[in-house]
Amino acid sequence: MIELIAVSKTYAGSNIKAVDGLSLKISDGEIFGFLGPNGAGKTTSLKILTGVLKADSGQAMVDGTDVSLDPIAAKSRIGYVSDNPEAFAKLKAVEYLNFIADVYGLDSEQRHKRINDYSSRFEIRDALSSSLASFSRGMKQKLFIVASLLPDPQNWVLDEPMVGLDPKAAFALKSIMRNRADSGKTVFFSTHVMEVAERLCDKLAIINKGKIIFIGSFQELKKLEGEDTSLETLFLELTEKSGELAGNGDAVL
Ligand SMILES: Nc1ncnc2c1ncn2[C@@H]1O[C@H](COP(=O)(O)OP(=O)(O)OP(=O)(O)O)[C@@H](O)[C@H]1O
Ligand SMILES: [Mg+2]
């Protein structure tokens, strides 16, 4: 279970709130999609949730634990795929996976099984003895997804995970997301891929300029805005509308 409560963040040297009083709750068993235009505040929110960044105010809770008060307990319940899988270039892929397994305290049986299973699923098993520097963008993305799954986390948090994935890997990712949610785990991911969000998510939040402008299911969004409309059209309409309102100094939805 994930909860953000009135979270705000302004980056040093900026006078704009990257995240502005954002609240949302994701229950166990849900796939929750986080949508919004470039610069809306998705990555900033996910970094606050995963303890990478500190909020100026508000709380980020993981299974009832406040990330800023007990970061180790909260982080041990999260698997995280960041938006920038560029780190650790000098390591071999298998060394990186073992490092992550060490961080989460996995025993050798668990780590061997999960490394084998997930790297086979994402078709990078044969490349594990190569250095990360030799990996393509998509292979790196697959490796970081595999790494995030090693602790079998209760909460799986992914920042634009589809980027760079081939269709087979994207399909594998979506299947794993569904299976995990169906087994009572939480999946929280940001994306710009509207078809994925429309088909996969149990709930969605749309964020613009740091604020939530819609939260609910796709069905609820359609009821609100028009039954025969795609998520892409609804997204464009809503973000346009809230941008105009915010521009006029009025409250957003
Ligand atoms: N390190 C930083 N320093 C200063 N400002 C930042 C920093 N990172 C992000 N911002 C600003 O914070 C706001 C939110 O950015 P964020 O990366 O959270 O958006 P996003 O929704 O993830 O966008 P995208 O869809 O492009 O990934 C933007 O105005 C951005 O310019
Ligand atoms: Mg981002």
Closest CA to 81 of 179, 173, 202: 173
Query: Atom 31, ligand 1: which residue's CA is nearest?
Result: 39
Relative to the CA of 46, which ligand 1 atom is closest? Answer: 18
Average pLDDT, whole number, for the chain? 93
C-beta 38 within 6 A of ligand 1? yes
Half-sphere exposure of 1 (CA within 13 A, CB side): 9
Could you give the angle at which helices 137-149 and 93-103 cross, rounded to 10 degrees? Answer: 30
Distance 45 CA to ligand 1 centre (A): 10
Six-digit token string for 25: 């709750």
Query: Atom 3, ligand 1: which residue's CA is nearest?
Result: 11
Confidence bin at 176 (pLDDT 50/70/90): very high
Query: For 34-86, what is each residue's pLDDT tens digit?
Result: 999 999 999 999 999 999 999 999 999 999 999 999 999 999 999 999 998 77
Q: In this predicted structure, what is the pLDDT of residue 73?
A: 97
Inform me whether the pLDDT recorded for 111 exceeds 80.
Answer: yes
Tell me the backbone φ, ψ of residue 235, rounded to 5 degrees: -60, -45
The structure's pTM equals: 0.94
Inform me whether the pLDDT recorded for 253 exceeds 60.
Answer: no
Q: How far apart are CA 77 and CA 202, in angstroms?
A: 21
Q: How far apart are CA 80 and CA 87, in angstroms?
A: 14
Relative to the CA of 44, which ligand 1 atom is closest? Answer: 18
Closest CA to 74 of 44, 106, 48: 48
Scanning 25-134, the segments in alpha helix (DSSP H) are 42-49, 71-75, 93-103, 108-121
Confidence bin at 223 (pLDDT 50/70/90): confident
Contact indicator for 138, 172 with CB cutoff of 8 Å? no
Q: Tell how strand 186-190 and strand 31-35 pair up.
A: parallel
Distance 121 CA to ligand 2 centre (A): 26
68 burial via Cβ count (<10 Å: 0-12, 13-18, 19+): middle
Scanning the chain, the segments in alpha helix (DSSP H) are 42-49, 71-75, 93-103, 108-121, 137-149, 167-182, 194-200, 218-225, 231-247
Inform me whether the pLDDT recorded for 33 exceeds 70.
Answer: yes
- Report the 10 Å Cβ neighbour count for 203: 18
Contact indicator for 231, 194 with CB cutoff of 8 Å? yes
- Report the 10 Å Cβ neighbour count for 246: 17
